[in-house]
Structure 1
Amino acid sequence: MTAVLRRLRSRRATPEAETEAAAATVLQLAVLLQAGVAPARAWEHLAGVGDSAAARVVTATAHDMPLPAAIAAVGSDAWREVAVAYQVASTVGAPLAACLRGLATALSDAQEAADDVRVALAEPAGTARLMGWLPLLAVALGAALGFDTFGTLFGSPLGIACLAAGGILIVVAQRWTARLVRSASDAAGVPGLEAELVAIALSGGVSIDRALAVVADAGALRTPGRQNAAPAPHDDVASVLSLSRSAGVPAVELLRACAAHARHRARVDGRLRAAKLSSRLLVPLGVCTLPAFLLLGVAPMLLGVMSTMSLSL
């Protein structure tokens, strides 16, 4: 069993795959809990059918680790968010099965939004990376046309200068492109998660102030060993809670609607970032890639022709 768990830990999964797997496991867990299975026993059932995350949780709890801490110890960001939600629901006595169903939906929606952004970014990012290596193709093309491109680049001071400048420009273009793609695809955490967590806390029947305090305390599972500041809800959450107080209506459904809107907004924002990326990638292409093409492809040809003409004279 220990050897199996070690092999499971050694496998590296992408963050997208981990989030998708976490959503599936949480949904299965919610179904088991709704059927009346005890939480500890539900984790054991999932581990028994080969769920690697559940196996880690069962192993950790067998060594007297609290269940929320064991969930957070699985390691990925998605599981740390699950641990926070589990801690909040357990603290206030909220219906755990319903809370986990809502969390599984939130994780699935966030993953779908990230997938949409990744698909939209694939074409412009791939094209930009391919164009970034175009200067090296120019070197081979010059040699294929009969020019002594390599001899010029490595055998003359001007050629060496062109080679150094072109190489630097290629590296800068690649890093610049990677940074633009990364900034367009970055999406921290699960959108609307704070609203979901406060809704979970309020569904246990506690006051708003108590719910915010419980959510803040449970947030330590995201960054173990770090003390949390006083509860300070996000502007959207604070606005919803203020509306609930002034209108005298329960805040749970308002908060869940706010969370759903946050996930929708994150999906739209991601698509807009992907659409803007195509035009932004033209900047490193014009500033770095094209000059590198001239330095590594055109300049050696001209230098070779000039050298041949000077020798003939």
Structure 2
Amino acid sequence: MTTVRMVPGRAAAAGKAGAQDVSAVAAVVQRLAVLLEAGIAPPRAWALLAESGEETAAAIVAAPPGADTGDLLAARGGAWAEVAVAWRVAATVGAPLAPSLRRFADALREAQETRDDVAVALADPAATARLVGWLPLVAIGLGFVLGFDVLTTLTQPAGIACALAGLGLMFVARRWSRRLVARAQPAPGLPGVQGDTVAIALSGGVSVDRALEVVQASGGGDTEPETGDVLDLSERAGAPAADLLRATSSDARRRARTEGRLGAARLGARLLLPMGLCTLPAFLLLGVGPMLLSVLAGSGSLLPLAGPPGALP
């Protein structure tokens, strides 16, 4: 077998997959697979889906005669671009379309479940960081409620210094927290999808080299390292490459789910740093500091805060 070129990266359209409801796409593909298994021709199957109000199916039905279905799917963007790759591969190698689409729909659904689990795990620490970030400003309102002359205090030199320092720390805390949350987000794209696409090509009875060539020509991107390793293992062991690829893709999605949950757990601990080093000092500077200065000014300890020199408190 020709040496597999292992270059990281996916097709550019795969990066948009997270912006679309992949589960909805998977449901449409699943229904299409069922119609095809029932013996309905692809054009009629798309027409039936269009009659039920499916927008992508309606766009395909409304396309000029002879338009390539793969191109029409790719134009929809998001997860449909991944479906377009699978469709083109199956059509090129002559793989059974219905079972290929059914397995691919399961892969899309599993990948979206992984992203959903990670998003749910990240929701709590991210929301906590946003809420805590506003506490310093809440402290100012608390000073007004308790009857302190916070506004006057904040217009004096010492109060202005507290306000500027507190607002600066709030800004740093928010930027720091956002960066931590962004780094904990799952990578764009759907994990393990390329392996499932190569498996579709192999199910058409073509060689490994031909399968990789078709996948790349169909928009599936360069061969990922994990896909290349599985194909090399299959060649050495004499095991079915398609089954190994599907198993490895499923493992990749489970691994992404586990790593996402671990990342969310680590995020909760890491967010304590901006909270402790920035938000808490900002709370003291914007809340406790002005109230303390107000008390001192009212007691005559800081006459410049209360009025001009010589004025009685």
- Percent identity between matched residues is 55
Give CA deviations for 1:95-145 in whole Å, capped at 9, x if unaligned: 111111111111111111112112222222222211111101110111112
Displacement of 1:15 in angstroms is: 4.5
Match of 1:152 in 2: 153
Q: Given the alignment, which residue of 219, 244, 248 partners 2:238?
A: 248
Q: Matched residues in 1 for 2:87 and 2:285: separation?
A: 59
Displacement of 1:67 in angstroms is: 0.8
Q: Is the 8 A contact 1:56 1:74 kept in 2?
A: no
For 1:63-212, list aligned pairs within 5 A: 65-76=67-78, 78-153=79-154, 155-212=155-212
Question: Match for 1:106: what amino acid?
Answer: A
Q: Matched residues in 1 for 2:23 and 2:246: separation?
A: 21
Moved more, 177-186 or 29-38: 177-186
Displacement of 1:16 in angstroms is: 6.7
Q: TM-score, normalised by structure 1?
A: 0.86
Change (3 A) 1:284 1:58: farther
Q: Matched residues in 2 for 1:280 and 1:63: separation?
A: 56
For 1:192-271, list aligned pairs within 5 A: 192-219=192-219, 231=222, 233-271=223-261
SS at match of 2:21: helix
Q: Matched residues in 2 for 1:133 and 1:306: separation?
A: 26
Q: Given the alignment, which residue of 14, 18, 21 partners 2:21?
A: 18
Moved more, 179-188 or 24-33: 179-188
For 1:287-298, list aligned pairs within 5 A: 287-298=277-288
Displacement of 1:249 in angstroms is: 2.8
Displacement of 1:178 in angstroms is: 2.4
Q: Is the 8 A contact 2:108 2:193 kept in 1?
A: no
Which runs of 5 or more structure 1 residues have no equivalent in the other structure? 1-13, 221-227
Q: Is the 8 A contact 2:118 2:186 kept in 1?
A: no
Match of 1:62 in 2: 64
Q: Matched residues in 1 for 2:18 and 2:101: separation?
A: 20
Match of 1:286 in 2: 276
Match of 2:296 in 1: 306
Match of 2:3 in 1: none
Question: Match for 1:197: what amino acid?
Answer: T
Displacement of 1:175 in angstroms is: 2.7
Change (3 A) 1:164 1:55: farther
Moved more, 144-153 or 269-278: 144-153
Q: Matched residues in 2 for 1:34 and 1:28: separation?
A: 10
The alignment of Structure 1 onto Structure 2 pairs a total of residues equal to: 287
Change (3 A) 1:58 1:168: farther
Greater relative contact order: 1 or 2 (C-alpha under 8 angstroms, separation 6 or more)? 2
Q: Matched residues in 2 for 1:215 and 1:138: separation?
A: 58
Displacement of 1:296 in angstroms is: 0.6
Match of 2:53 in 1: 50
Q: Matched residues in 2 for 1:88 and 1:161: separation?
A: 65
> What is the root-mean-square deviation in Å for CA atoms of aligned residues?
1.9
Q: TM-score, normalised by structure 2?
A: 0.86
Displacement of 1:75 in angstroms is: 2.4
Moved more, 274-283 or 294-303: 294-303
Q: Matched residues in 1 for 2:294 and 2:60: separation?
A: 67
Displacement of 1:64 in angstroms is: 5.2
Question: Match for 2:119: what amino acid?
Answer: R
Displacement of 1:247 in angstroms is: 2.0
Question: Match for 1:196: what amino acid?
Answer: D
